[in-house]
Amino acid sequence: MVKNQQIIKNAKISPQMIAIIGILMAAQAALGIFEIHTATIKISLSFIPVVIAARLYGGIGGALVAGFGDIIGCIVHPVGAWFPPITLTYAFAGFIYGLLLHKKANLVRIFIAIGITQLLISLFVTTLWIAFLSYKNDMMFFEFYLTRVGLRIWQVLIMSVVQAVIIPPMLKALDKIKLFNVSSI
């Protein structure tokens, strides 16, 4: 028992941190229910708990909330089949937010995080997984993938603007509150 407490103490894991990450996972899944979803566009505020976890607990916190929040969201409000590579991609995006926003969150880092997560990860990687799921043999896969990328550009641009408007004041307010003890896992 003492050995387990030593491991938890060395890893800086506290009951408060576990509770906050759990609440943020649930919030991420709940916000996913209220998304605007069409055939080619998905607008959601489910990134907010991921960014909060990333700011508070770094890359691991962001990845946990994004990954497990996606799994919970797929159980509570399934939009399509659960596909583990998409969940891992969301977790990776949460990790990127954590790398860039933990402890140092200025406008440049925020916009770099949005650029990487939206323009690179969402537009190209998530679209690749969606293309795998919906591919039919009526055209070459690469052509099909590029068509999907073209269809998802609007979603990525809209979500980039939404995140650019919401994240900076949200992080500023979170830093001002100083409600939580910011520590990394």
Q: List pLDDT tens digits, range 67-126.
A: 999 999 889 888 777 899 999 999 999 999 999 999 888 999 999 999 999 999 999 988
The pTM of the full predicted model, rounded to 2 decimals, is: 0.86
Give 58's contacts (C-beta < 8 A, 6+ positions apart).
Answer: 98, 99, 102, 103, 184, 185
Over residues 24-52, the pLDDT tens digits come to 999 999 998 888 878 778 889 999 999 99
Q: Please write down the long-range contacts of 165-172, taking CB distance under 8 Å and 24 or more positions apart.
A: 166/45, 166/48, 167/51, 167/110, 167/113, 167/114, 168/107, 168/110, 170/48, 170/51, 170/52, 171/51, 171/55, 171/101, 171/105, 171/110
Output the pLDDT for position 3. 56
Task: Compute the residue count for the chain.
Answer: 185
Q: Is residue 184 part of a domain?
A: no
Q: Is residue 91 part of a domain?
A: yes
Q: Which two tokens stand for residue 2?
A: 């003492």
Instruction: Compute how many other C-beta atoms are within 10 angstroms of the C-beta atom of residue 79.
Output: 12
Q: Is residue 133 part of a domain?
A: yes
Output the pLDDT for position 31. 93
Rounded to an integer, what distance in angstroms lies between the CA atom of residue 46 and that of residue 158?
A: 14
Output the pLDDT for position 13. 78
- CATH of residue 97: 1.10.1760.20
Over residues 9-19, the pLDDT tens digits come to 555 778 888 99
Q: Is residue 59 part of a domain?
A: yes
Q: Is residue 155 part of a domain?
A: yes
Report how many domains make up the chain: 1
Rounded to an integer, what distance in angstroms lies between the CA atom of residue 92 and that of residue 41?
A: 21
Give 130's contacts (C-beta < 8 A, 6+ positions apart).
Answer: 86, 148, 152
> What is the SS3 assignment for 43?
strand
* Range(s) of the domain holding residue 47: 2-177
The runs of H, that is alpha helices, within the chain are: 2-10, 15-33, 47-76, 84-101, 107-114, 127-134, 141-177
